Amino acid sequence: MTASPPTETRGPNLLDRLLTAIGYVLVIPLFFVAVKIVQEYERGVIFRLGRLVGARGPGLFLIIPLVERMVKIDLRVITMDVPRQDVITRDNVTVKVDAVVYFRVVDPEFAVVKVMDYFRATSLVAQTTLRSVLGQSDLDELLSKRDELNQKLQQIIDDATEPWGIKVTIVEVRDVSLPADMINAMSRQAQAERERRAKVIHAEGEFEAAARLAEAGKVMAEQPATLQLRYLQTLTEIASDKNSTVVFPIPIDLINMFLDRAGANASAPAGRPPRVIPEEPSPSG
């Protein structure tokens, strides 16, 4: 028997397997590169060979590997701290001010195409606007009219970032640091203002008390009996203190009343009883 020749199918079978393995190696990574998942709060900006195609998402979609490229943009509100800035107010007072800015991307295509780094660009615009606007205000306005300044800052920053697809919603001046000498001066000013108000209130009280005393004097002048009642009331108030000696003057009206009675009794004729002069009733009685 002669030996059978070797089969010639081993070479092609080995080559097919090699090509299949290479295909799997290339296709599987390309598949994962082509499949994109974008969250609800994100958008994927697609570029095809460098040309803007548009924004996609949210959800699952495919892109062409090596031809298309995707850039993810977050649409949620971003909180950005504005670094502390040295500001010279209109009345030449140097203060340190920091703020916080709330903004979000409303147009993801413009945020990618119109500006290279929208976060850094918004931060720089906020810093320069903060120094410019607060530098045009007095210190009193900076401390008392904070809401008006916040609205003005928000409007200016929003107008500057609108071409980039950015919407600035809130700007808040968070802290204003004053120099030590200015704090002492404001403290002295506040103390002087409180003393002035106290003196004015005291003077108004004295004026009202004098007006009431004048009215009381008019009433006592019209009704002399009220003066006597006031004497008796004063005596009662003083007598409440047992450790004091009180010298109380007797009103002249009472002495005159007793003298009139004594004169009437002396002038009465003999044998007749003295006529008793009836007392006039007191107006208060």
- What values do phi and psi take at 36, rounded to 5? -125, 140
- % of the chain beyond a pLDDT of 70: 72
| pLDDT (mean) for 130-139 | 89
Q: Which fold has domain 78-178?
A: Tetrahydropterin Synthase; Chain A (3.30.479)
Q: What is the pLDDT of residue 284?
A: 44
Instruction: List the domain boundaries for the chain.
Output: 22-73, 78-178, 224-266
d(CA 252, CA 250): 6
| pTM, to two decimals | 0.60
Per-residue pLDDT at 6 exceeds 60: no
| pLDDT (mean) for 176-200 | 77
268: three-class secondary structure by DSSP: coil
DSSP type of residue 76: S
The amino acid at 281: P
Per-residue pLDDT at 126 exceeds 90: yes
35-38 and 51-56 as β-strands: parallel, antiparallel, unpaired? unpaired
Over the stretch 185-196, which tens digit does the pLDDT of each residue have?
767 777 787 888
Query: Is 47 in contact with 17 (CB distance < 8 Å)?
Result: no
DSSP type of residue 4: P
Over the stretch 67-118, which tens digit does the pLDDT of each residue have?
889 999 999 999 999 999 888 888 888 889 999 999 999 999 999 999 999 9
Q: What is the pLDDT of residue 78?
A: 94
| pLDDT (mean) for 172-195 | 78
